[in-house]
Amino acid sequence: MKEFLRTMTTTWWGITLLCMICAAIWILLSALLYKCFFKRFYDILLSFLAIVIFSPLLLLLMILGAINMRGNPFFVQKRPGKRKRLSKRECARRNVSYGTYGEEKIIKLLKFRTMTNKKDSSGNLLPDEKRLNKYGKFLRSTSLDELPSLFNIFAGGLSIVGPRPLLVQYLPLYSEEQRHRHDVRPGLTGLAQVNGRNAISWDEKFKYDIKYVSRITLWSDITIILKTIGKVFKRSGISQAGQATMEYFTGNKRHNVLILSAGRRVELVNCFKTTRDKMNINGKVFCADMLETAPALQFADGKFILPRVGSDGYLEALVKICKDNEIALVVPTIDTELEILAKNKQNIEKESGAIILISDYESVAVCCDKFKTAEYFETHGFEYPKVIKQEKLKAEDCKFPLFIKPLDGSSSINAFKVNNESELKFFMNYVKKPIVQEYVSGTEYTVDCFSDFDGNIITVVPRIRLATRGGEVLKGKIDKNPVIIDNVKNLLTSFGFIGQITVQCFLTGDGTIKYIEINPRFGGGAPMSIYAGANSCENLYKLLKGEKLEYNENYEDGVVFARFDGSVRVPT
């Protein structure tokens, strides 16, 4: 035995064999005890070696970062770390079962800065994509911005492999299953990072994180590290489409939409559904109407019957529908519901948790009263068909043709051209609450506009009304007229609308823009602008997800749309 040991420790082949046996034992122990001991051991060892080896590069990037970022080259942010199991005593105190996890330990994540601190004229930070300069993009694409996190690994807040640490504000938004990603230390890289990084959805990211937590092995970590190296060289999955990195996580709340007084708005319902499916939104499109025979109800994911707008129980029924069905957004479509929704907006939103897509009551009240609308146009310097006062209508110098319509009308119902005095007398008795204006000729436009929830203008789409029927547009042509766009933007800014706004105006022969009316809701022809690329449904879903929007004119110009009717069988 002594001779064997002497041979093993003195001959080259014996030493080699002994080393191989020790290495095999070490690897076996590492594999068996990896999760409880060796994972942390390798984190300390490898992070220390990496800090020593990359120290010249770290110093160089500190200097370059200070120059390019004009200040502190480091980015420090609080992130949730590992949560520990509660002790028996603590479980007893909280009256929970033994083995329950406690709160996450908050760590300070250290990285190199990749975005500047540029601000707008109001002192607010610009969007991420505008603060991400070329130097920052280089750091992210090569993952060099992660090098300072080696100190987090050495200190114990981070691991080399594990679920990536996300924002602290996400903590209340997680489901109990998603919180299991914090049962282990967060990692510099992880299973989600090698399977799409920032380019995959939140659902996919969480599934990969939970899968990793449920099965941590030495071999899986080695595989992830090797794949990460490949991803770094390929520079893939760095950001999600339209984002500097990835969109904000808004929780697991379903983005359900409720379209009120749906009636014949089949196009609008389908636009929401198509957009939802294209964006992979978790939510349904519901419709409500007072009549079970409303065609749009048959195309919705769910339908509700509401009392007549303004009647007893209307608001209570609306709130109940929103609460029972997790409605995120309520979309009005007819004029008669605008004032009551605007007046009760805060209470409805507070009780239901849904957002009502309606502007403030003062603005809506102006739009719903044609006299107030005309007065607003005059006060703020916008051209409009002059209102003919009652005393002028009896005068001999009254100039025909004129135009008469109801004071609170919509959809061109009971709106008529008046050619002579006898017609005027007839229509004054026929039309309820009439308003008489000068007759305007020229090219008639409908302008579909969209503003975010803060009143910032996102899209303005003028379209020429080529043919109408009963006030509803049948044919329209998108006309990206810069004069109309700029003028309408001034009008919207003066009001401060939110959501969808429909503006009616004429472009007269002398180039004057004369406004007819403003409807703070989706117009019947709004799908034309949506099809052209100014997708208000997409904008609304993005706002619900917490994304920021910017003004754009990214829609087709000159395209012509023709609308048609269809039939659908109503269940009886």
Distance CA 259, CA 267 (A): 12
122 domain-assigned: no
Are 491 and 415 within one domain?
Answer: no
Cα separation of the two ends of the chain:
96
Residue 173 and residue 70 share a domain: yes
Assess contact for 450 and 501: CB atoms under 8 A: yes
Residue 350 lies in a domain: yes
pLDDT band at 22 (very low <50, low <70, confident <90, very high): confident
Residue 372 lies in a domain: no
Residue closest to 434 by CA, chosen among 401, 409, 454, 398: 409
Residues 421 and 453 in one domain: no
Q: For the segment 65-83, what is each residue's pLDDT rounded down to a tens digit?
A: 888 888 889 989 999 999 8
What would the two tokens of residue 451 be? 């503003």
By the 8 A CB rule, do 164 and 186 touch?
yes
Residues 213-232 have pLDDT tens digits of 999 999 999 999 999 888 87
Q: Are residues 421 and 450 in the same domain?
A: no
Same domain as 407, residue 320: no
Residues 403 and 302 in one domain: no
Q: Are residues 273 and 339 in the same domain?
A: yes
CATH number of the domain bearing residue 307: 3.40.50.20
User: Quick one: 515 and 420 in the same domain?
Assistant: no
Q: Is residue 368 part of a domain?
A: no
**Do residues 51 and 148 share a domain?**
yes
Neighbours of 199 (CB within 10 A): 15
On whether both 419 and 287 belong to a single domain, the answer is: no
Average pLDDT, the chain: 86
Cα(382)–Cα(26) distance, integer angstroms: 83
Question: Is the domain of 396 the same as that of 352?
Answer: no
pLDDT over 50 (residue 188): yes
Domain annotation covers residue 318: yes
pLDDT value at position 513? 94
Lowest average pLDDT, out of 220-224, 467-471, 488-492, goes to 467-471
What's the CA angle centered on 424, arms 423 and 428, to 5 degrees?
120
Q: Identify the domain boundary among 234, 266, 298.
A: 234
CATH code, 403: 3.30.1490.20
Range of the domain at 301: 256-358
**113: closest CA among 135, 98, 97?**
135
pLDDT in the model for residue 243: 47
Please give the sequence-ordered ranges of beta strands (E in DSSP) within 182-300, or none if there are none. 187-189, 256-259, 285-289
Q: How far apart are CA 116 and CA 135, in angstroms?
A: 10
Query: What single-letter DSSP state applies at residue 119?
Result: B
Domain count, the chain: 4
DSSP 510-565: TS-EEEEEEESS--TTHHHHHHHT--HHHHHHHHHTT--------S-SS-EEE---
Q: Write the DSSP symbol of residue 418.
A: E
Instruction: Answer yes or no: do 269 and 398 share one domain.
Output: no
- Greatest C-alpha distance within the chain: 134
Using the 3D structure, point to which of 234, 267, 293 is the last residue of a domain: 234
The span from the CA of 415 to the CA of 464, in Å, is: 19
Beta bridge partners of 104: 83
**CATH code of the domain containing 548:** 3.30.470.20
- For residue 399, is it within any domain? yes
Q: Does 200 map to a domain?
A: yes
Which among 68-72, 309-313, 553-557 has the top mean pLDDT?
Answer: 553-557
Tell whether 14 is covered by a domain.
no
